[in-house]
Structure 1
Amino acid sequence: MSSDSRLPQGVPLPDWTRRPSPQPVTIDGRYCRIEPLNIERHGDDLVAAFRTTDESSWVYLFIGPFADDAGILNWLTESANSRDYIYSAIIDRASGRAAGLCAYMRPDPGNGVVEIGSIHYSDALKRTPAATEAMYLLMRHVFDDLGYRRYEWKCNSFNGPSRRTALRLGFRFEGIFRNHMVVKGHNRDTAWFSVLDSEWPALKSAYEKWLAPENFGRNGQQRIPLSDMIAKAR
């Protein structure tokens, strides 16, 4: 049976080709540096950072909290050795220490789709320019270097801080996947967010303006919020 070309099928993509799979990558920024997660290099820093992380920050993660340093180190080791996710350590340039980690998840190079997730920041990294810059650098790599079409963010529907962060970073809310997962013995309805390649140029411009030194006062406080810059760019 032949298809009817008169029926809507979406925007034609005659030149689309499979994109490269994400690989461990090092990216230098002004406030942070992204490095492939390595236990010898980052293990001690991250164990120390996560040892004192507020317990509530573990609630919506797939793992933790841990009873001791050995548990944290085992989790980091498994993450560094993962073949499914590509984990990165986030180095705070101010201290020179690893202060957080995240991962490219569920890469789909055939369709040009990847998710950013497994994000866990030390308390010292949260709400800093370095934390925002890390998300910008990883997003920029996906769109500018790998040529992907879609960048995803997913979280527990009850995770208000993560949902607010996704919106602040320019992701668009798409809806709730009900009964999506069972996590730590609880049902998880998952909130889905995304950025598309067509939206990236405006976001990139807003990020670069927000991260510029002149956007921060002597006390390090932002002059113009990122969300305002994104709204204006769009």
Structure 2
Amino acid sequence: MFATAFDVVGHTVEIAKIEDKHIAPLWTLLQEEENIRLYRQLYHIDPTSEEDLGRDLLASSQNNLDTKATRAIINKFTSDVLGWLIVRSQDPDTSAMTAEAAMFLPRALRSERGTETMYYVSHTVFDNLDYEKLEFRAGTSSEAWGPGGGQLGRSLIGVLTRQMLDRGRSAESDLFVVMKAQWPVISLAIGAWLDSKGSTKVERAVGTSS
């Protein structure tokens, strides 16, 4: 399994790890045509070229989820680019998928392509996996953020949906503006929650996020 940590409002918050058993469902998400297109955009791959590196990378390891190449793609696409990781479980009786941990990073807002990708992938997660809950975990305490964290996440998705889909805005242009406008509110809310829990329960950031 692998994990990531990031800086937000002066704190380092560690996201819950993606377990091996959750690699396959996440990989399935990245195989979708829409996400392959966004993968090409992010890594500056010309979709009209005869040699489509994006599709080659994805196809080369889609039948072998244990390869280093596959895990590298998943890790880079979710952690390095989007700045958030998810852990999901599946109910064997209902097949309901659960998103247990997710977080957005300010660095994902530094490019329109990164923000567009973050929106589409998160939208897929929340809409197509029978979304049940969203928890954030702080520092080494692994303390769930609980209902407040879930409401915060749903609120952000709600803002994006209302301002993007319902109003027919362009993801290439307006989404970046929307996210940039919303991030200060989200980051302050996260910082206030961490402060209310006490600094001893989280690790202070050594530096700033890149």
Common fold by TM > 0.5: no
Q: Which has the higher contact order (CA 8 A, sep 6+)?
A: 2
Which entry has the higher C-alpha Rg, 1 or 2? 1
Query: Given the two structures, how large is their TM-score scaled by the length of structure 2?
Result: 0.37
